Each structure stands twice: as structure tokens, then as C-alpha cells.
Structure 1
Amino acid sequence: MKKIIAVLSLIAIALGMLLIATKPRVLDKKSTGNYQTPTLFVHGYGGGYGSEKNMISDLSQHAGFRQVLRYNIDRNGNISSSGHWQADVKHPLIAMVFNDGRPNDKYLSPILSRIKKDYKIKAFNAVGHSGGATAWVNWAVTADKEEMPELQRLVTIAGPFNGFMGMSEKTDVATIKLDSDGKPDTMIGAYKHLNDNKDNFPKNIDVLNIFGDTGKGSDCVVPVNSVRSLRYIVEQNAKSYTEQEVKNSKSQHSKLHQHNPLVNQVLYNFLK
């Protein structure tokens, strides 16, 4: 009797192991590549998460939009992350925060590489305010993008592409003139760098360029024509290039990202 029980026990164990071996394996969603295209936010000089959270929060009022991750970059380029990305989020939003308040385009690629590796994404959207806008454009024309996800949509807000107020006489409101192609008649060094590399701007990207005008040709920090100088850099390769002027009580430089109804509506329409 004991031998029969022992044999039956061995058979039961063998059957159990067979069932485990043949049971369909449930893949972790992180390995399936089912994550949706994220939108990455970068703040301006002297800014931080506070410069991004209002836009992220306001977008999150719409169905499908939600912040999933936050990346912090310290002054030495060390990257830390927090948050949880659920694959069923249709419009995932990611905050990128430079702890020293100085966005640097050379640290965008390591984060993009990490996101592609961890979540198998193939494309992304980008939003940048002020210095964050210039960081994204610098990245777009100079970075090695062979192993990167593809930039699909780019939103620049108040980008000082050709200088800001008080920087020099060349960046005064009245002195920057644009020709019919959007080419500025004067160029600061940083803009010349963009111009020298503009052929590298990726093709098939939709670009939305937002700027404020308080009524005096600037948003009190960046001249309108400095922001609009972006057109000459990107239009030849971009799939589309659109400008959005903000000319109301919230057209000042910092107010463009502070629960700004017009900016938030335009962002939503562009990213949805």
C-alpha cells in the first residue's frame, strides 16, 4: 500500500510539473512594447518641476493624459527616476527636471535611451519652455539619434533661439528683423550654431512654436522675433510648422506655463 501511495505521489508531482511547464507564460507588459508614445517636458533656465507641473496637471484633466514618470538630473549628470508607467495610459506625460535649473541637451539622450530600453517605445513628443525649448532644438540638430526613439511632435514655448531681452543690442525688440523665409537679419552665436546644423533637423516632425506678446514686441523676457527665428531652422525639414501667438493678460514669459488656458488648449489639440 505504501508503494502504491509513493507511486501515485510521484505521478502527481510529475503531472504538476508538466502543467507548470506548458502553462502559457504571461508577459510583463513592460516587455511587450505596448506602451504609448510619451510626451517629455523640459523646463527653462532657473526653473524646475514647478515650471512643468501646471501644464502636466492641466493636460491630465483630459481623458487619457497622465504623468507616469519623473526624471531628475543632478549637476553631474546623474539620473534618478520615480513614478510608475502603466501601459494602458493613452497619453503618458514625463517630467524631466534639472536640479540645478539649467537644462542641458546632452543629458536628453541618456534618458531617451533608457526609456526606449525599458519601455520599448519607438517615438516620443517633446515640450520645452524657454531654455527647455532651446535644449530640445539643440538636441534635434546635433544629437546622434540612431539609437533613439523618433521625435514625432515638438512644442516650443517662448524659446530664446536668437537671444533674450537685455542680452545685447542685437536682441533688442526693434533690431531683430525676419525676411520672408523667416531668416533673421542678425544672429547671436547660439543661433548661428543652430543654423549651421539645421540640415540635421529630423524630417516628418510636426512643430508648434508658441510665443507671447505683451503688446511691446516681446513677452518681457524674449523678443517675439527671437522666438519666431525658429522657423528658419526647422521649416525646411519639418512635416509642419505652426506658430501660436498669445496676446492677452497671460502672455508674459512665465505666465505662458502657469495654468494658461490658451496654451493648454493648444497643447491638448496638438498632442491628442
Structure 2
Amino acid sequence: MKKMIKMMKNLSIFFLFVASIITFAACSNSNVSKVSKKQGATIVPTLFFHGYGSSTNAEESMAHAAVKAGPPKTIIKALFDNKGDVTLKGVIPSYDKHPIVEVGFDNNRNSNYTEDGQWARNVVLKLQEAYHIKKFNVVGHSMGNMAIIFYMLDNYRDKKLPQLQKQVDIAGHFNGILGVDDKPNEMKLKANGLPIQINPTYEKLTALRHSDAYKGVSVLNIYGDKDDGSHSDGRVSNASSKSLRYLVSNHAKSYREEKIVGKDAQHSRLHENPEVNKLLIDFLWDKK
């Protein structure tokens, strides 16, 4: 009899545990399902991609400055494990048409840019599945820009995906990194923006020049100059950042460059720079 009572208690505990999991899942699903397909079509999230060796902490200053300025009201996170699987943390309410998604890579030193682009696709698909989005914006810092541009290179033909509207690139190293495959004042650009010498990564990206990948996309390219004679932000030469122009400007809806000068234009300080915050807020949400 005692064994029977003990067994019944164990079964009760087990069923309570299962019920709690089902309840939690139902609650989670109900939060997401509050956004209908019609509502989701009006939501345009902005995805922030951090740089090499970094995390969503690097996106906090820009994201919170945007919420303070408006119109974004919500910040959620999209976190990758080291296999590229993504989990959403937080919920986008149906009334917030301009939420921010801070993207975080567990493998934050992955210099396989094609794979980074595939992972960027994963988060876009996740948001499409959860919130039925049709459009989105992006902000990248350093290596985050490579995830974005390789996503575009490999996926622009897929019209079933949500379509990119606006792109902000900060400290992009499209044709090299100082101390790796570039030196201060070594890189020169032709009149059309094409580097005289290009690396293998940039060679792949030149396919964008002859595509319509950026048709309908507005691009803001922000780069830093420490004003120390290196014409760089200390990590990326201005020429490497500006080499983006050749790839996208001939078919983008618009293309604009902005140079930040001084000590706060250093590579890792750019994502904490109030001047950068203002530029991207004005650009993304038409704030004047």
C-alpha cells in the first residue's frame, strides 16, 4: 500500500511538471500570436549586429538612445548558440511598429562571413515566423556589417523573405583590417570607389555591383577618423569602409557617407558615440 501511495505521489509530481511546461509554452505562444499577420505586416524591426569578439552589450547605447528618442518602444534580443540556432528573448507588442532586436552571437569570433550571413538569415526567418514581418532595417558594427552584406549577397533573390529597407554600416571593414590585410594609408580607391587592390572577401562581394540586391534599400555608411594621420579609426582604414560605395551605390535607393572625427571616432567607441546615435536615429526613423 505504501508503495502504491508513493507511486501515485510520483505520478502526480510528474503530471504537474508536464502541465507546467505546457502552460508555459501556451503562454509564450499566446504572447507571440497576439500579433496577427495584418499587424505584423506593419511592424518594421531594426536588427543590431555587433562586432568581432563583442556581444549585445555593444548595442545597448545605440538601442536605448533610439528608444529614448522614439519611435521604438521595445527592445528584444535574438541570441544564437554556437550552431547558429536562434532564440528570441522578449516579446514585441503589436502596437510597437518600430521595435529593436539586439542580435547576439555565442560564437562571436567567427570570421567565416558566409556562415555569419546564414545566421543572419536565421534571425530574419525567426522574426518572420513569430511576427509575420514583411520588412526590416539593420545596423551593423565592424564584423556585424559582414554578416549583413553576406546575407544580402546570398539571399537577395529570395522574395519570400522580409525585404530590407534601410541599412546603417558603422566601421565596416569591407576590404581589409589594419594589421591583418591592410596598412595605414596603403589602400587607394578609384573614382568609382573600387579599391585598386582587393582581398578575396571583397572579390566575392563585387557580385553585388552587378545585381539588384540593394534596389529599394537606403544605406548610411558611418566611419571613424581618429585624426592622427592614419585616416582610420585605429582598426579599419577609411578606404576599407568607403569601399562599400562601389558595391551598392549604383543601384541602392540612396547611399550616404558620414565621417566621425576625433578620439571618440576610435573603432570601439563609435557604437558609444552620441553623434553616431543621432545619425542613425535620424536616418532610420526620419527624426529631424
TM-score strictly above 0.5: yes
Offset of residue 94 of structure 1: 0.5
Matches within 5 A, 1:171-182: 171-182=182-193
- Following the alignment from structure 1 to structure 2, what is the Cα–Cα distance between the partners of residues 77 and 133? 17
Q: Could you tell me which residue of structure 1 aligns to residue 48 of structure 2?
A: 41
2-structure distance, mates of 1:107, 1:197:
19
Q: 1:69 to 1:92 in 2, by over 3 A?
A: same
1:7-44 deviation per Cα after TM superposition (whole angstroms, max 9, x unaligned): xxxxxxxxxxxxxxxxxxxx933343344211001001
Between stretches 133-142 and 39-48, larger displacement belongs to 133-142
Match among 30, 35, 41 for residue 36 of structure 2? 30
Contact in 1 for aligned 2:249/2:255 (Cα 8 Å): yes
Aligned AA for 2:170?
I
Is 2:58 the counterpart of 1:51?
yes
Task: Indicate if the aligned counterparts of 2:47 and 2:103 stay in contact, CA closer than 8 A.
Answer: yes
Shift of residue 74 of structure 1? 1.1
**1:88 Cα shift?**
1.1
* Paired residues of 1:105 and 1:135 also in contact (CA < 8 A): yes
Return the match for 1:96 from 103, 108, 112: 103
2:80 to 40, 60, 73: 73
**1:103-252 paired onto structure 2 within 5 Å:** 104-143=116-155, 145-168=158-181, 171-200=182-211, 201-215=213-227, 216-252=230-266
Report if aligned partners of 1:56, 1:66 keep a CA contact under 8 Å in 2: no
Deviation at 1:209, TM superposition (A): 0.3
Structure with greater helix share of residues:
2
CA distance in 2, matches of 1:153, 1:31: 22
Contact 2:214/2:253 (<8 A) preserved: no
Cα displacement (A) at 1:63? 2.7
Q: Name stretches of at least 5 consecutive residues in structure 1 with no aligned partner.
A: 1-26
Residue identity opposite 1:202 in structure 2? Y
Return the alpha-carbon distance in structure 1 between the equivalents of residues 226 and 35 of structure 2.
47
Give the letter aligned to residue 123 of structure 1: K
202-211 vs 108-117, greater mean Cα deviation = 108-117
CA distance in 2 between partners of 1:138 and 1:44 (Å): 15
The superposition leaves residues 75-131 of structure 1 with CA deviations (integer Å, 9 ceiling, x where unpaired) of 111221110101111321001100121361111112211211221211100010000
The correspondence for 2:274, drawn from 230, 250, 261, is 261
Q: CA deviation at 1:242?
A: 0.2
Would you say how many aligned residue pairs link Structure 1 and Structure 2? 243
In 2, are the aligned partners of 1:44 and 1:132 still within 8 Å (CA)? yes
Q: Which amino acid aligns with 1:174?
A: N
TM-score by length of 1: 0.85
1:212 and 1:189 map into 2 onto residues whose CA distance is 24
**Does the aligned pair in 2 maintain the 1:68–1:94 contact within 8 Å?**
yes
Report the CA distance between 1:174 and its aligned residue: 1.7
Distance 1:59 1:68 in 2: 10
Q: Is the 8 Å Cα contact of residues 208 and 248 (structure 2) preserved in structure 1?
A: no
Q: Percent identity?
A: 33
